[in-house]
Structure 1
Amino acid sequence: MSGRPGVLIDLSPLTENPAFARMWIGSTLSGIGGQLTLVTVMLHVFALTGSTFAVSMIAVAGLVPMVLAGLYGGMLADAFDRRLVALIAATVTFVSTALLAALTWSGGETIWWLYVLSMINSAANSVGMATRTAIVPRLIPRDKLAAASALNGVAFGLTVMAGPALAGLLVALTGYGWTYTIDVVLMLSMFLGLWTLPSLRPEGEVVRPGLASLVDGWRFLRRAGNIRMQYIVDIIAMTFGQPLVLFPALGTVLLGGGALTTGLLTAAVAVGTFASSLFSGRVVQYRWHGRGIERAVEAYGAAILLFGLVLLVSAGASPATETAPHIALIVLACIALAFSGAADNVSSIYRNTMMQAAVPDAMRGRLQGVFIVVVAGGPRVGALYAGTLATFTALWFPPLLGGFLVIALVAILARRSPRFRGYDAENPEP
C-alpha cells in the first residue's frame, strides 16, 4: 500500500506470514456472515415481538454459556492443539447457523429457537475467538503484534460495514431465510483458514483443563495488574456505552428508515473502525499502551455522549416513519458512531497487543478466554443496561447517561493506576 511512511497500515504480517494471512482472510469472510446473522436475529426478534427488551434478551441469553465456554475454551487452548480446538468451535457455529436457516425456511422458527441458537453461537464463537487470538503470537514476531491487531481492526471494519448493511437490505428485500443461508456459505471460508494451519500445541508447562487450570490462570491474573486494569476499563466502556440493542427501535420509532437505518447505524461503527485501522501507522508505533487505552476509551465515551444528544434532538422533532426518516439526524448519528468505532479500535489495538506480548504462551489461552468473555460479555451487559433503561425512560437516555459515566469512571481509575498508565510496549509486563 502506497502512502506516507508511518501513517498507513503496516501490511507486513500478511505479506510475510502466509499462515496468518490465510487465517485472517477466513476470519474476515466468515465474520461478514456472522454479522449478517447477528443483525438479522435482532430484526427477527423485533419483528416477532415488537419489543426492544426482547431484543436485549437475545444478547443476555447468550451471556452465561459464552462466559463458561470462554473460560473452558481458554483451558482447552492451553492444553491441546489450538488448531484442532478452533476447528471444532467453527464446526459447532456452522451447524447451529445451518439449523437456524433450515428452521426459517420451513417456517418453524420461534422466539425460543432464536434464543437457543444464539446461545450456542455465542458459546462456540467465544471458544473460537479465544483460541484464534492465542494462535496469532505463534505465527508472527512480537514487534508485529500491534500491526496484526490493526489488521484485525480492518477485518472487523469490513465485516461490520458489509454485514449489517447487507442484512438490512436482504431482510427488507428477501426476508430472513436468505440472510441466514448466506452466512452458512461464508462460514466455509473459516475452515480453509484453520485447516491449513500447522499443529500448534502450547509451549511450556501444560495444565489439563479443570479446576487446577482455572485456579492457575486466576492466580496469574491476580498478579497481572496491567491486564486486569484493561479488562475493567473495557467492561465500563461496553456496559455503559454500547447502544447496539437500541438500533432496531431507532429505525422504527425515532429516526425512521426501518431495517435500513438499523444496518446503517451498525455499519457506521465499522466505518470508524476501518478508517482508524487504515491509518494506524502512527498508532502502532506509540509505545505507551496503557495511556493509549485510557485516552481512546475516554474518546469513545465522548462519541457515545454525542450520539445520545443526536437522539435527544430527534425525540423533539416531528415523528419519523420508515418512508419519511430524519435523514440529517441519521447522518449525524452515523458520524458519532463512526467516531466511537475509531476510538474503540485504537483501544483494541493496544489491548490486544498487551495481551499477546505480556502473557506467556502457556497461559495465553486462559487469559484470552477471559479477555473474550470481557470483550463479548461487556456488550451483553450493556444490552441489558440500554434495553432496560430505554424501556423505563426514553431511547436517547441510555447513551446520553452512559457516555458521561464512561468518561468519568475511566478518568478516575486510570489516574489511580500509574503503573497501567506507564505501561511500555518495549518492555511488556502483565
Structure 2
Amino acid sequence: MNAAVPISQEIAWIGVNDRETHLFEALWPLPEGISYNAYMICDEKVALIDTVKINSALSYLEKISAMLPAGKKVDYLIINHMEPDHSGSIKVLLQQFPDLQIVGNKKTMGFLEGFYDITENLHVVKDGDVLDLGKHKLRFYLTPMVHWPETMMTYDTVDKVLFSGDAFGGFGTLDGGIFDDEVNIAFYKDEIRRYFSNIVGKFGKPVLNAIQKLQNLDIRVVAPTHGPIWRQDPAHIVEDYRRWSAHETEIGVVIAYGSMYGNTEKMADTIARGLAEAGIENVRVLNVSKTHVSYIINDIWRFKGLILGSCTYNLGLFPPMDSLIRHLENKLLTNRVLGIFGSYSWSGGGVSALKAFGEQSNWKVVEPVIEAQYAPHAEEMEQCAALARNMANEINT
C-alpha cells in the first residue's frame, strides 16, 4: 500500500509490506511475506511509533511526508522494539528530522548506541510514564523479554490503542486490508501461530506477565508491528497469545519422522492409521527432510501429542531429526505427550537419542518405544498400532 491508512482521526498506519525477503531473521521462510507496521500520531506534537526495515525506508518517509500537517515537524520517535526490522530506518529518519526526540526505556538506549551510534536527543521513560502530545496522552508499559530485553508497549489513553510491538503479531503481508475486519483472519491464523511459536514462544512467561500487566486497560485496538491490526476483536489475538504462552493444546498428534529408504516412513503411516481408527481427527505426518522446521514446530505447538520417528544415521539421529529436537529443546515447550519409534540396520542409536530427549524434556512418554532392525515386520507394525491406541487414550484423558 502506497498511502497511510487511518486508524482514528489523528492516528494512522504508515507501515510497509515485504514480499522480497525469503527468510525472516535469515531462518524462517516467508511464503506469504511479512508486514512491518509503523504508526503516526498527528496532534499538537507529532509522534512516530517504530520505523521499518531499511530496505523500505523510502516508502516509509513518503508516507510520513504525506501525512505531516503543513508547518509541522516530527517531534518524537517512540521505539517499542530495537530489532532492526523495526529500527532500521532510524538514521534515515534523523537525516530528515534531525531535532526529533527519541523515546525509549533505559535498555533501549544501549541498543540504540550499539546498533546506530546514536547518543543525543534521547528521552528515557520508565514503566507507567506518560508523554503528552496535546489531546493524546501516551502511557508506556515495559514488557521485557517479549521477546528482547528492551521491549515495551505504548498505550494511547484517548483512542485506547495499544501499540504492542512484536507481541500479538504474525507473518503475512497486508494485502489491501490491514484490519481484522477487512481480511480473512483464518488465512492468517497458521502464520500468526508459526510466528509466535518460532519467534516469541520461548518467552511465554514474559508474554503472560505482559498480558497480566495490561489486563485492566480498556484496549479497543491492538496495533502490532507485524500482521493485521485488531480493531473488531482485539481480545481474540490477546487470548490466542495467552493460550499459546501457557502451552495449552488442542487434541491432535504430530508425527514427525526421518526416513532414508522408507522403512521408518512405513511405521509412521501405520501409526497415523491407528490414530485415525482411534478417533483422532487432527493427525499431521511430517517428513523432517522435506518440511521446514518452523512448520513442524508450529503444529507441535498446536497439538497435544507428538510422535518422533528416526532412522539411525552414523550411530546417531538422522541429522534433520537431530535439528528438530535441538529446536524443541530451545523452545522450552511443556505439556506434551511423546511417542518414539525408529529403525536401524547395522547399528542402533537413533531411537536411544530420542529416548534421551524424552527424558530431558520431562514429557510423558507413551509405550511402546519401537525400534525395528532393517525393515519393520509384523511384530513392529503391531507395536506401532499399539502406540497409536495408547497415544489416543493419553491425549483424550
* TM-score of the aligned structures, taking structure 1 as reference length: 0.20
The structure carrying a bigger strand percent of its residues is: 2
The structure carrying a bigger helix percent of its residues is: 1
* TM-score of the aligned structures, taking structure 2 as reference length: 0.21
Q: Which of the pair has more CA radius of gyration?
A: 2
